[in-house]
Amino acid sequence: MQYRKLNNQDGLSALGFGCMRFPKKGNGFNHEEIEREIKYAVENGVNYFDTAYLYPGNEEEFGRAVDKLGLRSKIFIATKMPHYFMKSVEDAEKRFKEQLTRLRTDHVDYYLMHMLPDVVSWHALCERGIDEWLEKKKADGLIKRIGFSFHGSSDMFIKLLHERKWDFAQIQYNYLDENTQAGAKGLKEAASLGVPVIIMEPLRGGRLVSGIPEKATQLIKESTGMSNAEFGLRWLWNQPEVTTVLSGMNSMAMVEENIRIASETEENSLTEDNMRTYEKVVEEIEKKVRVRCTGCGYCMPCPAGVDIPGCFKTYNTSYVENYASGIREYFMCAGMKNERALASQCRKCGKCEKHCPQGIQIRDELVKVKRRFENPIFKIGLFFAPGHIKKK
Ligand code: SF4
Ligand code: SF4
């Protein structure tokens, strides 16, 4: 494992374990597999683990596994405060205590304001006394480092960076988002201020692995010999300003592969040829992908039952692969369920758009999904689908 030198006073591992996508078994977590993966990761040098109050059951499951494995002293736990619920210091206190209980720990190493959107929201939190509360927690040793996670423009990210002395920040960053979100500009600004940067969505929720056009995959293979995942990750670890890259790992194969890549990739090791391949791959992707949804699910649940990320994933598939694959997937994910989850069910309430970190105009895009897929033949198929028959 490598440990970046720049602004990395705690020696965080270059690879961080994103717990959000822990493997499942039936309706719950796959405890044995999760323990196996965490143990292997720690034995191979991973020391940063990221969860959040809002990931369903995630803090508890992670706390349980770490407690059982006796690994607490070997790792840094990062978790996030759902600051939008924090109307007062009392609220913050209550949720924080809950988090310590869930995580079975007496302190949190890295504590983030989850998806802090802008300076106005930060000021509102300060007015409620949250900044002072955080500092007090830090002075008492209950929180070691204070930071925020961010999905938004580079200008807003930079403004937020200057609002206080942050200990770290977490941004969405990958080769497709070099000039969107906080972007390279935000990353460099953070580094110049001495703020370590944790990367989330390094592979855009797996879309840069399995959701890119065949031509892009071929280009990667022929020019670099890398898998799509390795191609995406190496771009990040090539940059000295990147402290830790979070990967939402949910299989042992993924843990092993990511540890290998993190251990091998040196800073500034990519060649000019490699960089040209990234440019060409981005061009290929931008030609085909219609909606830049990462599948994070923050827009869910939809009160009308629409499977928003599913709609966008299948819509993109219909352009990236072919129409038949897209509509087949759409039928499976939105039409075959007992409770339908179709784009046409959208009532345009707008609730989802307030939560989308990518700023997607979800209502407008769903209209396009509906137009593309929900033709008369599709509707006949729906009529005979098991969910419909069962209801009748
Ligand atoms: S705008 Fe449509 S998709 Fe979004 S939450 Fe409302 S009903 Fe659901
Ligand atoms: S539409 Fe936005 S919030 Fe919903 S899954 Fe996609 S990126 Fe996430």
All structural domains of the chain with their residue ranges? 15-286, 308-391
> pLDDT tens for residues 44-67?
999 999 999 999 899 999 999 999
Look at residue 390 in the predicted model and tell me its pLDDT: 46
The residue assigned the tokens 């006796």 is 70
The per-residue pLDDT for 391 is 47
Mutate to test the pocket of ligand 2, among 114, 360, 361, 369 (most ligand atoms within 8 A of CB): 360
Q: What is the pLDDT of residue 392?
A: 44
* E strand or H helix at 113: strand 108-113
> In testing the pocket of ligand 2, which one of 20, 290, 358, 363 has its CB within 8 Å of the most ligand atoms?
358
3-state helix, strand, coil in the chain (%, to 5): 50, 10, 35
pLDDT at 165: 95
Report how far residue 33's alpha carbon sits from residue 39's, in angstroms, rounded to the nearest whole number.
10
Is pLDDT above 70 for 150?
yes
- The pLDDT mean for the chain works out to 92
Distance 193 CA to ligand 1 centre (A): 40
- pLDDT more than 90, % of the chain: 75
- The predicted pLDDT at position 67 comes to 97
| CA of 356, closest atom in ligand 2 | 3
How far out from the chain centre does Cα 169 lie? 14
Instruction: Record the pTM.
Output: 0.82
For residue 316, the ligand closest to its alpha carbon is 2
Residues 133-147: pLDDT tens digits? 999 999 999 999 999
- Where b means 16+ CB within 10 Å and e means fewer, 26-63 reads eeebbeebbbbbbeebbebebbbbbbbbbbeebbebbb
- Nearest ligand to the CA atom of 310: 2
- The residue with greater pLDDT, 9 or 296, is 9
- Tell me the pLDDT band of 388, cut-offs 50, 70 and 90: low
Ligand 1 atom nearest to CA at 366? 3
Establish whether residue 362 lines the binding site of ligand 1, counting it when its CB lies within 6 angstroms of any ligand atom: yes
Reply yes or no on whether the pLDDT at 76 is more than 90.
Answer: yes
Superfamily of domain 15-286: NADP-dependent oxidoreductase domain (3.20.20.100)
The dihedral region occupied by 314, where left means phi > 0, alpha psi between -120 and 50, and beta the remainder, is: alpha
The rounded Å distance from CA 355 to ligand 2 centre is 8
Residues linked to residue 17 through DSSP beta bridges, in sequence order: 49, 247
Which pLDDT does position 300 carry in this prediction?
A: 92
Kindly tell me if the per-residue pLDDT of 386 is higher than 80.
no
Determine if ligand 1 sits within 6 Å of the CB of residue 342. Answer: no
DSSP state string for 222-256: HHH---HHHHHHHHHHT-TT--EEEE---SHHHHH
The average pLDDT across 113-140 equals 94
Q: For 322-364, what is each residue's pLDDT tens digit? A: 898 889 889 888 887 668 899 999 999 999 999 998 899 999 9
The answer to whether 17 touches 49, Cβ cutoff 8 Å, is yes
Question: What pLDDT was estimated at residue 389?
Answer: 43
Mean pLDDT for 369-377 is 94
Ligand 1 centre to CA of 109 (Å) is 37
164-185 pLDDT tens trace: 999 999 998 999 888 877 899 9
Residue 228 identity (one-letter amino acid): N
Please tell me the distance between residue 357's alpha carbon and the centre of ligand 2 in angstroms: 7
